[in-house]
């Protein structure tokens, strides 16, 4: 009965990363040769006036034998178009609002008993779900260790309606390779000429600049840029420089001590020879 009365339907589910944390949400899924939309995507289509859904695929390279990957989903209507960047699994990063309380909760019992104010749900988008831990619909997310599953889908729906979904552009790998190559070419000949304090200071400044640029890209444009490999490279270069610098300095000290030892031995021999005369 509910399915027949519904204006549309979609599946529920979110991929779980290897560390057990939910960071992304599926928008499309393929089953038995058919493609189905996630419930937040179907709801966004209805709320935006029922726009047509268009899939965008990447270019197929000459050495690739598989189908080109899905790169974006576009919602097109008379009001305009909205492009949603997705990954190879047709998933997007979830735009979590804050640690807790990002959305208003109402008890289903209060709604059924008409104990809510008359305008509590007027003009609102309502998602029905469970929040009790015993019903096993809690998700571990970057902002909360036990976020109700219904709020995960609410975050995705809010991001789709606002058109603000963080995404990693397809050129991030090229950008990361360029940054790594540039840092290696500059720092490899520069670090050996610096003192240990200057090398540590330069590395900390570069890490701080990298973190600020990543945060600005995230906050202003919703871009997810890689930073882990660059930070690891900076740490590795600094560690190698400090290690080899300490090794070279230790060898120089041993040589200097050996020279002073030879000088002291010659001086003692000359003194004994002079006394025997």
Mean pLDDT estimate for the chain: 81
Reported as a pLDDT band with limits 50, 70 and 90, residue 104 is confident
Under DSSP, is residue 20 helix (H, G, I), strand (E, B) or coil? Answer: coil
What number is the average pLDDT over the span 5-30?
88
- Do residues 41 and 27 make contact, with C-beta atoms less than 8 angstroms apart? yes
Which residues are within 8 A (CB) of 156 and not within 5 positions of it... i.e. 6 or more apart?
Answer: 25, 38, 40, 92, 94, 95
How confident is the model over 9-21, as pLDDT tens digits?
888 888 899 999 9
How confident is the model over 133-157, as pLDDT tens digits?
767 788 888 888 888 888 899 999 9
- Do residues 45 and 34 make contact, with C-beta atoms less than 8 angstroms apart? no
Closest CA to 85 of 169, 10, 1: 169
Highest mean pLDDT (candidates 62-66, 161-165, 202-206, 218-222): 202-206
CA gap 80, 83 in Å, rounded: 10
Query: At residue 165, what are phi and psi to the nearest 5 degrees?
Result: -125, 125
What number is the average pLDDT over the span 122-129?
87
């Amino acid at each position: 009965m509910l399915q027949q009365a519904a204006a549309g339907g979609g599946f529920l589910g979110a991929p779980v990363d290897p560390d057990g944390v939910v960071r992304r949400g599926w928008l499309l899924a393929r089953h038995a040769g058919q493609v189905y939309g996630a419930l937040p995507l179907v709801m966004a289509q209805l709320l935006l006036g029922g726009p047509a859904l268009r899939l965008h695929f990447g270019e197929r390279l000459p050495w690739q034998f598989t189908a080109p990957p899905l790169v974006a989903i576009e919602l097109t209507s008379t009001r305009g178009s909205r492009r949603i960047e997705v990954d190879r699994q047709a998933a997007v990063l979830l735009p979590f609002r804050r640690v807790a309380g990002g959305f208003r909760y109402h008890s289903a019992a209060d709604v059924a008993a008409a104990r809510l104010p008359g305008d509590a749900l007027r003009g609102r988008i309502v998602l029905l779900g469970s929040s009790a831990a015993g019903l096993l619909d809690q998700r571990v997310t970057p902002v909360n260790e036990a976020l109700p599953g219904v709020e995960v889908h609410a975050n995705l729906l809010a991001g789709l309606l606002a058109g603000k979904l963080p995404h990693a552009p397809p050129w991030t790998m090229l950008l990361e390779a360029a940054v790594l190559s540039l840092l290696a070419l500059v720092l490899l000949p520069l670090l050996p000429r610096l003192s240990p304090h200057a090398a540590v200071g330069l590395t900390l400044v570069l890490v701080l600049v990298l973190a600020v640029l990543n945060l600005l890209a995230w906050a202003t444009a919703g871009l997810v840029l890689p930073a882990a490999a660059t930070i690891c490279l900076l740490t590795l270069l600094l560690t190698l420089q400090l290690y080899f610098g300490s090794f070279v300095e230790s060898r120089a000290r041993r040589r200097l001590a050996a020279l002073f030892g030879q000088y002291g031995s010659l001086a003692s021999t000359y003194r004994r020879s002079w006394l025997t005369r």
